[in-house]
Structure 1
Amino acid sequence: MRRHSTWELEPVQSAHSRELAPPPALARGALRITPLGGLGEIGRNMTVFEYDGQLLVVDCGVLFPEESQPGIDVILPDFTSIRDRLDDIVAIVLTHGHEDHIGGVPYLLKERADIPVIGSELTLAFIEAKLKEHRITPVTVHVEAGDRHLTGGFDLEFVAVNHSIPDGLAVAIRTGAGMVLNTGDFKMDQFPLDDRITDLRAFARLGEEGVDVFMVDSTNAEVPGFTTSERELAPAIDHVFATAPRRIIVSSFASHVHRIQQVLDAAHANGRKVAFVGRSMVRNMGIARDLGYLKIPRGLVVDVKKLETMPDDKITLVCTGSQGEPMAAISRMANGNHQIKIGEGDTVLLASSLIPGNENAIYGVINKLTDLGAKVVHKGNAKVHVSGHASEGELVYCYNLIKPGNVLPIHGESKHLHANAEIAVRTGVDPERVIIGRDGVTIDLIDGRATISGQVQAGMVYVDGQTVGRATEDTLKERRLLREGGVVTVLALVDPATNVLAEPLEFLTRGFVHDDRTFDGAAAEVTKALERSAQQGVTDLDAIEEVIASAVGRYIQRAYRREPVVIAVVVDA
């Protein structure tokens, strides 16, 4: 195939270049691929494969909310397009145990609890513990790298891949329409902590057989070269433990077993005891220890209460919250509302990467910890984290090794997907066979060629406490207005027969800064709006409340360029 330079790339198939209708019925013998999450975002990974009337789900994760989504716990993929076909789902395949790949499984199993869940030992252990909290006992199928497993019309082969969590798997999906290779999250660390490298021999063998669609991790596609080995972090982490004068508080993902292992090793070498803080951290590290993925020297890990009697320079705390999540342990410590109080001379080690969209929250936590007197060590000022994702050089290597027929970049924001697509084209993949998708786009594989066929619903599904899907974009808009503009409540005594105010308006506010004259012009606007509503025959009190609220809102926006939430309460005069 002709090679392309970066300045003469031909157009690829893009779902963003046109409006898409719902897809037609799937042609006989064709395979349909529908990503419901993970395309255009870092998280919420979920892909549905349809063949011969059956559905296979690969991953079902969550997305963590940004500052613009106040009150939201997590965000789920949209199950609308498969909700009336739950009985057609033959299995859920999980590539690894990170929340952005398994966090949505409980919500899907609540809709049909007996869907088999296929995964590796650690991945299944993590999801089983999570499901126990939801009072769901799953049907699980344990697989290992190298296994083949037939479920319905899908012949699955599992391939070892290296990532920032043990037991990661790529999955090759063989159907009568062709083969898809989904890498999951992966990198090509040649010196991993667990000595389990990405199985490039298997990738090459699958390439020789013929990979019709290569679905490949895009997170680090913009990063040149190769991702740094985990082992190269040891000196920086050791330095923190050797020089910290008081307590060390480490914040990491609760599933980041490799990083926690490095922390445990450094603590043991420097004579420190370790306590895990937070339910998810305690649970996951207990699972990893019991299954042998986490090696803990005898007596190293103790209960957090035991640390109260120990010298500060012998204490290490490992907790969650490296992404600035409001309710996570490190954020609560930073805000001073956790039982563990950060003080002068403490060292806080943030041992995870910055997820795009979380930067402000994380830097806010760093500043608060610094104000409390702590030294904060993070990726920006020390080599204490490496990515779990393949960089450009690794992706080039995989494309040249596999020589796929079609490419669908996955797991990334739009810029990552485009960068990955460019790499594919530069390695010789026909641009017309490279697809930049978005959540909900359907891609059909027919006679070895993958093309965009339509679009299904794939919106954001918000989990807000115990409610799922009830919070909407309008809900969030109102919450943002409450946060940014406050609330103005207008009390009005109105004669509904004439729509005339019987008494002057009364204004009550929360979070809205005003003085005695702020609302002087609002009454005139309300009077005009009520006169118009009377001419239109509006007499319903609810409708009158809407008229008054709209009039006051318009007045405040025009006069003061502010947008509080305005609530009108009308009393029948």
Structure 2
Amino acid sequence: MKLNIKNNETAVFAVGGLGEIGKNMYGVQFQDEIIVIDAGIKFPEDDLLGIDYVISDYSYLVQNKDKIKALVITHGHEDHIGGIPYFLQQVPNVPIYAGPLAAALIRGKLEEHGLLRTTKLTEINEDTVLKFKKLSVEFFRTTHSIPDTLGIAVHTPQGIVIQTGDFKFDLTPVGDQPSPNFQKMCRFAEEGVLVLMSDSTNAEVPTFTKSERFVGKSIRHIFDRIDGRIIFATFASNISRIAQAADAAMAHGRKIAVFGRSMETAMVNGRELGYLNIPDDVLIDAHQLNSMPADKVMILCTGSQGEPMAALSRIANGTHRQISIQPGDTVIFSSNPIPGNTVSVNHVINQLSEAGAEVIHGKVNNVHTSGHGGQEDQKLMLRLIKPKFFMACHGEYRMQKIHCELAQQCGVPEKNCYIMENGDVLALTQDSARIAGHFPAGDVYIDGNGVGDIGNAVICDRRMLSEEGLVVVVATINMQKQAVLAGPDLLSRGFIYMRESGELINQAQRRVYRTIKSTFSSSEKVTEASLKDAITSNLQEFLFDKTERHPVILPMLILL
């Protein structure tokens, strides 16, 4: 993991967030100082069976933990803060700096993992300046789908490194939230921005992203025509959307019932920090909900992504203890499915429709707008910042490629635009940039309490088990006499129905018996491992020939 970074170079890299949506974690390094930006998670795709979250491989930062001066946070979304507890377990005592809402969310995570008392967590705003021996960090206001969103400006001897975080240019943000700080961005440009690391998520969208207020108007119009009960589902972290739904509900004389742990937490944090102006007497519990007229309530809940255990999914499938779908209910999905969640969302929509609810979702109804800027937002950021070099971040490869093309249209030379992978290191002087090596930055899987103990081999086995099934071979063998004393017997799960496959099972048993005898008759020394290998390979070949399937073969030998 030896990198070729010279003393007169600033290095920038991503531990996660390149070539993917999620797992955002970036670094700026000069000599013996490293500033880490964000520490997110990624939610697993459907093929990662049993995996709860995906985090980054922190091994490079672990090896350089003495150089890390700060972990600075752009905003409070899970793909930017969800990995913090796992990072701190490997690299303890890193001071964290975050805006008020992100700090509140991080505090909850640290408390849950028993790390709150041992972690220095400092609340910051855009006027905060962090000064270290060789590097300093400033912040600038941006807008996104969550309050307190900040861009990061790291001052280095070679120039300013800017990480935008997630952003769009919303000039009319909801509530008292300020608009983006154009003046500060221009000031950085005048001082000289060495490299811009910018959000690429919506690089395929050829427009400006609509303001959050645009959705607010649609929500109010939809509420105007609903006489029954409203169930409103959105991301718990989208405080602006929650605020607009709550305002529309109160304007129509509706009380609000909140369901879902993360939504309840968002409500508490949003009210405490002043982002949600919802009086106590507007909030009701489940008992009050069931005794009120349908046109006087709104249920605010999690589950807009079809998560199986979220409140909306349990309402849809009839397993929620306190809420069931009633005739006249209207369910509003105020989000778009994250890639990989479309099937789950459609399943929940179907269940709700079958139960008798009217479901409103999608762009047609204008109940969602992205928190990420489209091409016009991205070009505006490039024109404001005027970087010498450009690195496309937070996006899949095709998004990064388009974003680099936009940078070239905005005056950044093609040779100065970089599409990098996690672990690639870009070393910069005032006038040059080069790839200075690579460190391991693959995916690490979290399964229950296990972190990193599930590798690709285990995932492959799970996939095979789910698709092909399992065959267990049981036999009792006398190794000295080289004799089969009992069996072999076969058990199948998820492969064939044994009662209807007697002939196949008998053939397979005879095949295993012959395999064991032939292994003993070979001139090589026979061990338990060699017996298992022979049984597995021969039985797999036989079963594929008969069924064209590859079940997992598990030999269980009792040796005497």
Specify if TM > 0.5.
yes
Pairing 1:160–2:141 present: yes
Q: Determine the structure 2 residue equivalent to 1:526.
A: 512
Higher deviation after alignment, 59-68 or 340-349: 340-349
Distance 2:47 2:523 in 1: 38
1:493 equivalent among 472, 476, 479: 476
From 366, 371, 377, the counterpart of 1:383: 366
1:460-499 alignment, distance < 5 Å: 460-497=443-480
Tell me the equivalent position of 2:123.
Answer: 142
Deviations 1:478-535 (A, max 9, x none): 2222222222222223343465544553222222233223334423543454355331
- 1:554 counterpart residue number: 541
Whether 1:516 and 2:502 are equivalent positions in the alignment is: yes
Please list every run of at least 4 consecutive aligned residues from structure 1 whose deviation after the TM superposition is greater than 4 angstroms: 497-504
C-alpha displacement of 1:27: 0.6
Q: Which stretch shows the higher mean deviation, 304-313 or 115-124?
A: 304-313
The CA RMSD measured in Å over matched residues stands at 2.0
Partner of 1:252: 234
Q: TM-score, normalising length from structure 2?
A: 0.93
Residue of structure 1 in register with 2:400 after alignment: 417
| Alignment partner, residue 170 of structure 1 | 151
Give the drift of 1:385. Answer: 0.5
| 1:152 Cα deviation after fit | 4.2
Give the alignment partner of residue 335 of structure 2, picking from 352, 358, 381: 352
Q: CA deviation at 1:64?
A: 0.7
Counterpart position of 2:31:
52
Confirm or deny: 8 A CA contact 1:23 1:453 kept in the other structure.
no
Q: 1:316 to 1:550 in 2, by over 3 A?
A: farther
CA distance in 2 between counterparts of 1:250 and 1:363 reads 16
SS of residue matched to 1:341: coil
Residue 149 of structure 1 and its aligned partner are, at CA, apart by 2.0
Aligned residue for 2:422? Answer: 439
Q: For residue 275 of structure 2, what is the amino acid of its counterpart?
A: Y
**1:402 corresponds to 2:385:** yes
CA contact (8 A) 2:193 2:387 kept: yes
Q: 1:219 — aligned with what?
A: 201
Q: Secondary structure at the match of 2:224?
A: helix
Structure 1 regions of 5+ residues with no counterpart? 1-21
Give the fraction of aligned pairs with identical amino acids, expressed as a percent: 37
Instruction: Check conservation: 2:3, 2:438, Cα contact below 8 A.
Output: no
Q: Cα gap change, 1:360/1:538 in structure 2, threshold over 3 Å: closer, same or farther?
A: farther
CA distance in 2, matches of 1:73, 1:342: 29
Q: Is the 8 A contact 1:538 1:544 kept in 2?
A: no
* Contact 2:42 2:79 survives alignment (8 Å): yes
Secondary structure of the residue aligned to 1:205 is: helix
- The residue that corresponds to 1:19 in the other structure is none
Distance 1:82 1:301, change over 3 A: same
Deviation at 1:113, TM superposition (A): 3.7
**What CA distance in whole angstroms lies between the structure 2 residues aligned with 1:318 and 1:474?**
41
Q: Is the 8 A contact 1:98 1:255 kept in 2?
A: yes
1:311 counterpart = 2:293: yes
Return the alpha-carbon distance in structure 2 between the equivalents of residues 423 and 57 of structure 1.
27
Distance 2:514 2:398 in 1: 50
1:330 corresponds to which residue? 312
Contact 2:488 2:512 in 1 (8 A): no
Name the residue aligned to 2:165. Answer: 184
Report which stretch shifted further, 90-99 or 225-234: 225-234
Query: Counterpart of 2:557 in 1: which secondary structure?
Result: strand
- Paired letter, 2:80: H
Match of 2:354 among 357, 371, 376: 371
Greater mean deviation of Cα atoms: 142-151 or 492-501: 492-501
Task: Report the secondary structure of 1:192's partner residue.
Answer: coil
- Cα contact 2:4–2:437 (8 A) shared by 1: no
Report how far residue 384 of structure 1 moved. 0.5
Q: Does 1:541 align with 2:547?
A: no
Which residue of structure 2 lines up, in the alignment, with residue 6 of structure 1?
A: none
Residue 130 of structure 1: how far off its partner (Å): 1.7
Structure 2 Cα separation of the partners of residues 305 and 473 of structure 1: 47
Q: Secondary structure at the match of 1:470?
A: coil
Higher relative contact order (CA 8 A, sep 6+): 1
Which aligned pairs between 1:68-87 and structure 2 lie closer than 5 A?
A: 68-87=47-66
8 Å contact 1:42–1:355 — kept in the other structure?
A: no
Cα separation, 1, equivalents of 2:545 and 2:60: 43
User: What corresponds to 1:12 in structure 2?
Assistant: none
Cα distance, 1:381 vs structure 2? 4.2
Q: What is the distance in 2 between the residues matched to 1:367 and 1:87?
A: 53
Are 1:495 and 1:501, in contact at CA under 8 Å, matched by a contact in 2? yes
Larger mean Cα displacement after TM superposition, 51-60 or 553-562? 553-562
Number of residues of Structure 1 aligned to a counterpart in Structure 2: 552
Stretches of structure 2 lacking an aligned partner (at least 5 in a row)? none
CA contact (8 A) 1:213 1:450 kept: no
- Give the drift of 1:37: 0.7
**Per-residue deviation, residues 4-30 of structure 1 (Å, max 9, x unmatched):** xxxxxxxxxxxxxxxxxx553421121
Deviations along 1:179-214, one digit per CA (max 9) or x if unpaired, are 111110000012111352111222222112111100
Moved more, 375-384 or 334-343: 334-343
Q: Which amino acid aligns with 1:163?
A: H
Aligned partners of 1:536, 1:336: CA distance in 2, in Å?
64
* Partner of residue 505 from structure 1, selected from 469, 488, 504: 488
Residue of structure 2 in register with 1:564 after alignment: 551
Give the Cα separation in 1 of the matches to 2:21 and 2:42. Answer: 7
TM-score computed with the length of structure 1 as normaliser: 0.91
